[in-house]
Structures are given as structure tokens and as C-alpha cells.
Amino acid sequence: MGNKRLTVREIAKLAEVSVATVSRVSRGTGQVSQETRERVLRIIEEYGYRPSQMGRTLAEQRHGMVAIVFPGLAGPYFSELTQGFESQAMEAGTGVHILVTHHRPDSDDSVLDMASRVDGIAIHGDTVRAETLRRVAAEVPVVVLAGRPMDGVPAVRADNSTIGELTRHLLVDHGYRRLAFVGNPGGSPDVTDRWEAFQAAHRQARVTAPRNPVPLGLQQSDGVLAAGELLDGRRPPRAVVCANDETALGVLIGALGRGLSVPGDLAITGFDDVPMASLVQPRLTTVRQPIRELGATTARLLISGLGNRGAVMDAVLATEPVFRESCGCPRT
Amino acid sequence: MGNKRLTVREIAKLAEVSVATVSRVSRGTGQVSQETRERVLRIIEEYGYRPSQMGRTLAEQRHGMVAIVFPGLAGPYFSELTQGFESQAMEAGTGVHILVTHHRPDSDDSVLDMASRVDGIAIHGDTVRAETLRRVAAEVPVVVLAGRPMDGVPAVRADNSTIGELTRHLLVDHGYRRLAFVGNPGGSPDVTDRWEAFQAAHRQARVTAPRNPVPLGLQQSDGVLAAGELLDGRRPPRAVVCANDETALGVLIGALGRGLSVPGDLAITGFDDVPMASLVQPRLTTVRQPIRELGATTARLLISGLGNRGAVMDAVLATEPVFRESCGCPRT
DNA sequence: TTGTAGGCGTTATCAT
DNA sequence: ATGATAACGCCTACAA
């Protein structure tokens, strides 16, 4: 325990070869005679030698590591995103560093610091200020995840407009009036888009949209809170369009807890199509977004972009509405 | 964009001083005359110089970074844990690297690799094999989080036995028979402890415990699945003790979705006391565990332990039962 | 107060 | 096939 690790030089001395040979053997590059290789390998094994990342990083001028920056990590969304991202990074032999800002005020510093510890950074939505984004991009390749491209920084995102189809469905197909929107448009580009699509659908259906959204977060508990705010008021909405499934689930729980019938008294829709969406009763009508693919595409773009600039600048992944029962549709 | 970053030497030349002085100024150590400092600072500012982490790490022989290894990151538990951990790390001026294994078979390699990129590692529960834990501990300080100490590796965990009090409460105070336990004891030390406390409480109350638990994961969707398994069977349980709040919430949702009354037809308890626990209807009876503190304590122990070996070896944080309505207690 | 020079551990070039 | 040696960028005795 705590045996100071040996260095190339020491291994070289023990194996009676030069450091160059040890390096060649340990990383399997270049030509080394069978005999020498075995001798060196034996010493490496015996002393448990492992090349130091510090030295290697400096010599190779690369970290073999990329980072992904999130605002938080509650909920299945970030978990999926991470898995997609990591799967691709792993394939490229690159490690992944997750950085969570938790909306801390000094988080921009952490991101900047991170910039000098990795070969590239994927930044989720509005986690850092535009100014910071620029500075980071000046140091390492950056890809915006679930946001808009900016100043030459490419982006990967999902098509949020599909939530408009859901809204139209509620308005036109079901004939509901008085819809509410749960989500904070100022919180992230995704929610901004969704709120706008929600409004646009109202305009197209020539129905007056609510003036304001219910500006809460994206966690389940926020949905429960929203349910309280909406349902205990004087004129509860007939249907509520949520910025994501977690809040929709929260609203559903809140509504059922109040003895309301869903969709009878209140229709509810979400966004993401997380596993829970099809497990609850009634099942959740939502928009399916390829979260894993989103993460994977981001990683690919980031890692390939480490070399060549100027590939895709704005990848928008397709999404699709999933009609189940929480909106009032019959079970198929 | 892509302007190759300047090095100490170049800044030194521009400021007409030595590299030593630049270093002194940039890191604020040693004595530098007011005049010189300002001149150097101006150049640093002007060219946006920031010392390379690569060089610094190698020279200082430390990364200024610790890692925390998780099996996954769905749910509020890991989010809280991370925040507690980061708050302390931040105070020590240390960065935090989050590594998620996702139960991947090759994840042990990632952890090993990580060992040479950070100054210390906190490993959650059963995320790595014992053998791997040993090898990692041979390279850097390690703390086990939510698990037992092992081979000189200290641990920080919560007192899981309190779930026995909950079980006793259901058995004795409410007189329920036929309890079920949801959670996979093989999945993590925490669940192992909880399952054992559940059984022990049965023995003390002289009631026969169920032979087997419902061995599912710790996510909400697992709870919904468990509800299906338990409630659609021939002899549904009268009460179900869940390994954590997420699954308890899932069971609750599943039960309510089947038209059952909770706690009338089925009593439910959880573990953690997450925000949702007190927001659902009925509110969840559970065990409160100081998750944030758990993370914070782990970080402190890890970072302090970077220097001196031999501090606390097994910190067990207190937990307390929280009686609400899902167990059948009246609303207070 | 400031500068010189060696070292941190690795990789890679260029001889041999 | 192998070895000497120069980077890589920074920090820090030690010297001046």
C-alpha cells in the first residue's frame, strides 16, 4: 500500500534496456524483438508498472478524456444521455468526465478549469453563460448539447416542435380548451422551444394560449407542485402540457392524489417517453425523443471534431408523438 | 479559436522576466515587487494566459482532483450525494470527477484508469469487485461510500438498521401480517443491510418473514414492476417495505393505478426521505438518511486522508424513522 | 527581488 | 532492434 510507483527509467534499469524500449513494449508500438519484449513484460508484470497518466498526458499533449457538462443529474434523462455519450466515447478509447453545475454561481470557473483537463467538452443547454462558452471554445473543441449552435460552436438537439402536434391534438382532436404549460422557458433552450411550439399550436388553432407558463423545474416534485398550483386554483385547466415526462408524472400523481380522474377531469402530456411513461395508469401521452442517440451523436461529433473543424453544425434529431391514454385517447 | 496557448516561457519573454517570476505571479506565491507583478499580470491578462494543467500536474505531482464512482445516476439520491461531496471538495479547492459504471462489465478498467488521473477515489457500494478495490487502493487513497470498510479502506455509510424499526412498527403497532420486501440484497451493501434488518425485525416480533425479497432495482419503474408482481398474484401482501423511496413511490403509483387504497389495502414504506416522499398522497412513511452529509463526510475523509492515513475507519451516520400516512398512521 | 537550472514521467525522433 | 536525448509545460530549490 502506497508503494511509490516505479517509473519508466527504473523499469528500464531493471530490464536492462533503454526507456524507449520500455515505452515501446508497454504501449505495443514499434519493433521489439520477441526476447526483449518478454523480458521487459516480465519486469513490468512483476513490479506492477503502469505508465503515469501525468507524464503521458504531457508528452502526448492530450488527455484522452472529454467532458460533459450538466446542470444537474436528477431523473432518467441525464442518465440516458450519459450512457449514449459514454458508449461512443468508449469506442473511441476516450474517457468521460461528468461535470455537474447544480446552477452554482461559480460553476463557470469549474467549466473553464475543466477545459484544461480534457480534449473536448459537451455543454448541455444553458448551463454556462455565453461569454464562458466562448472562452471555453477558444481553448478546446466544444459541442452544445440540447441547445442552439453559437459562434461557430456546433450543436446537437432534438426536434422540440413535435410538442406542437401534441398541443394541436389536445386542442383540435379532443376539443379541449384552457390548456396550461408546465415548465420554465428561461431555464433551458429545450423548454424555450417547447413553450414556443405550444403557443404556436394555439395560434394555428385560433385558440388563445395562456399568457404565462407555470415556471417550475423539470423534476417530478416540480410537477406535484404544479398540480397544486393549477388544481387548487379557481379555474383549473382542462389539460396540461408538461415540458418533460418527469413533471407530467408529478402532475399526474398530484391529480390522482386529489381524487381527480385523468384524463376525465384533466388531460396530461409529457416529453421524453421515459420508461415510467408507459408504466403508469393511465399511460402517458408524450413525445419520444432519442435521448441515447442524442448523447451518442454529441460524443461522435465532439471526438471527430477534435481533429477537423467544420463538420455538421446543427444536428436536429427527429422526435415523434406517442399517443396513449393520459390525453383522452382510447387504449388501442 | 484554436490559438495555440502560450506557455510560461513565452509570457516570461513578453514580460521580460524569468519563468520563475511568471509562475510566482500566476499562482500568487513568493515575493514579487509590485511593479513587476503588475507588468506580468498585464501580459497574462492581455494574452489570456492560463497555466497548463498538464505541466502543473506533472510538476506538482498531484491532480487537484478526486473521483466518485457510482453504479448509475438515476434518481435524486445520487444527485444529493454528489452535491454533498462536491461542496466539501470545492472547499478544499479540489475538482470532482464523476464516474458512472452503469454495471458495465469492463467498468473496473475505467476505475483503474481513473486511479491514475486523480488524487483519491470514493467508491459507492458494490460498484467494483473486491480485487479491483484492492488494486485501486494500492495506487491512491480510497473511501467506500455506502458500503463496509475493507482491507484498510475506510467507509462512510448510513445506519440501515432503522428500517427494522419501520418493520417492527408495521408488524407490532399496526399488526400487519404478510409483509413483502422490494429490493435486491445482492445489488448493494445498503440493500443487503436493509433486507437483513427487515428479517431481524420479523424474528424479534416472532413473525415469519417472507422467504425471498422481490429482487428488483432501485428505480421508480422497478417499483411499478414490483407492484404488478405483488398485487396481481394470488396472495398480495398487506404491506410492502421498499429498499428506497423511489421504489416505494413506484409501488404506490402501481397500487393506486389498480384502484387500491393506500394504506387501507396496502401499506407502503420507503427509505431516504426524498422530496417526493412528503408530496405524494398519502405521504410516505420512510427512514430519513442524511444523504448530503454522507457525501460531504466522504469527501472530507477522502481529502484529509490524502495526507495522513489512519483516521476514522467506519463512519456510520444516524438515520431516523419518519412516520407519515402510507403505513396507516393518522395524519398528525 | 529575480534568475538559472533541474526535475516531474512519458513519448518520439534520430542515430546506431 | 535498440539506445540517447530532446521535448512537453510547469514548479521550485538554489544562486545571485
Q: Which nucleotide is nearest to B4 (CA to C1')?
A: D9
Cell of B307: 495526507
Cell of B290: 442524511
pLDDT of residue A103: 86
- Per DSSP, B289 falls in state -
- B29 in contact with chain A, both atoms CB, cutoff 8 A: no
- Rounded to an integer, the average pLDDT of A72-80 is 91
Q: A12 Cβ partners below 8 Å, 6+ apart?
A: A18, A19, A21, A22
Indicate if the pLDDT at residue A304 is higher than 50.
Answer: yes
Kindly report, residue by residue over B250-262, the tens digit of the pLDDT. 999 999 999 999 9
Indicate if the pLDDT at residue B309 is higher than 60.
Answer: no
pLDDT of residue A332: 81
Task: Return residues 206-225 of B near A (CB < 8 Å).
Answer: 219-221, 224-225
pLDDT of residue A212: 97
pLDDT of residue A306: 58
pLDDT of residue B233: 87
The C-alpha cell 426524498 sits at B274
pLDDT band at A1 (very low <50, low <70, confident <90, very high): very low
Task: Return residues 30-49 of A near B (CB < 8 Å).
Answer: 48
What percentage of chain B has pLDDT greater than the value 90? 89
Kindly report, residue by residue over A103-143, the tens digit of the pLDDT. 888 899 999 999 999 999 999 998 999 999 999 999 999 99
Q: Do B54 and A74 touch (CB under 8 A)?
A: no
Kindly report, residue by residue over A23-56, the tens digit of the pLDDT. 999 999 988 999 999 999 999 999 999 999 999 9
Asked whether residue B26's C-beta has any atom of DNA/RNA strand D within 7 A, the reply is: yes
Q: Pick B305 or B111 by higher pLDDT.
A: B111
Q: Do B253 and A253 touch (CB under 8 A)?
A: yes
Nearest-angstrom CA–CA distance, B286 and B278: 10
Q: Do B224 and A74 touch (CB under 8 A)?
A: no
Nearest Cα of chain B lies from the Cα of A181 at a distance, in angstroms, of 21
pLDDT of residue B126: 81
With 0-12 / 13-18 / 19 or more C-beta atoms within 10 angstroms meaning exposed / middle / buried, residue A212 is exposed
pLDDT of residue A2: 47
Residue spans of alpha helices (H) in B103-236: 107-115, 130-139, 162-168, 189-204, 220-231
Cell of B205: 416480533
Task: Return residues 140-179 of A near B (CB < 8 Å).
Answer: 152
Range with the poorest average pLDDT among A122-131, A175-184, B211-220, B284-293: A122-131
Range with the poorest average pLDDT among A141-145, A328-332, B72-76, B122-126: B72-76
- Rounded to an integer, the average pLDDT of B158-182 is 98
Indicate if the pLDDT at residue A78 is higher than 60.
Answer: yes
pLDDT of residue A233: 87
pLDDT of residue A309: 56
pLDDT of residue B305: 72
- B91 in contact with chain A, both atoms CB, cutoff 8 A: no
The mean pLDDT value of chain A amounts to 94
pLDDT band at B153 (very low <50, low <70, confident <90, very high): very high
- Rounded to an integer, the average pLDDT of B71-94 is 93
Largest CA distance in chain A: 86
State the pTM of this model: 0.93
Q: Which residues of A touch B70 (CB under 8 A)?
A: none
**A247 in Cβ contact with A182 (< 8 Å):** yes
pLDDT band at B105 (very low <50, low <70, confident <90, very high): confident
What percentage of chain A has pLDDT greater than the value 70? 97
Q: Pick B106 or B212 by higher pLDDT.
A: B212
Q: Which residues of B touch A58 (CB under 8 A)?
A: 54-55, 57-58
- Which nucleotides of chain D are near protein (any atom < 7 Å from a CB)? 1-13
Q: What does each C-alpha distance from B239 to A130, A268, B166, B212, B327 come to in angstroms?
A: 52, 30, 11, 15, 8
Q: Which residues of A touch B275 (CB under 8 A)?
A: 221
pLDDT band at B311 (very low <50, low <70, confident <90, very high): low
**A285 in Cβ contact with A325 (< 8 Å):** yes
pLDDT band at A311 (very low <50, low <70, confident <90, very high): low
The mean pLDDT value of chain B amounts to 94
pLDDT band at B115 (very low <50, low <70, confident <90, very high): very high
Residues whose beta carbon sits under 7 Å from strand C? A 7-9, 19-20, 23, 26-27, 29-30, 49-52, 54-56, 58-60; B 16-21, 24, 30-33, 35-37, 58-59, 61
pLDDT of residue B86: 96
What DSSP string describes A280-305?
A: SSSPPBEEE--HHHHHHHHHHHHHHT
pLDDT of residue A310: 55
Nearest CA in chain A to B73: A79
Indicate if the pLDDT at residue B1 is higher than 90.
Answer: no
- B114 in contact with chain A, both atoms CB, cutoff 8 A: yes
The separation, in Å, between residue B44 CA and nucleotide C5 C1' comes to: 24
The separation, in Å, between residue A13 CA and nucleotide C12 C1' comes to: 20
Nearest-angstrom CA–CA distance, B314 and B298: 11
Report whether the peptide linkage leading into residue A141 is cis, meaning its omega lies within 30 degrees of zero. Answer: no
The separation, in Å, between residue B18 CA and nucleotide C4 C1' comes to: 9
Nearest-angstrom CA–CA distance, A210 and B242: 41
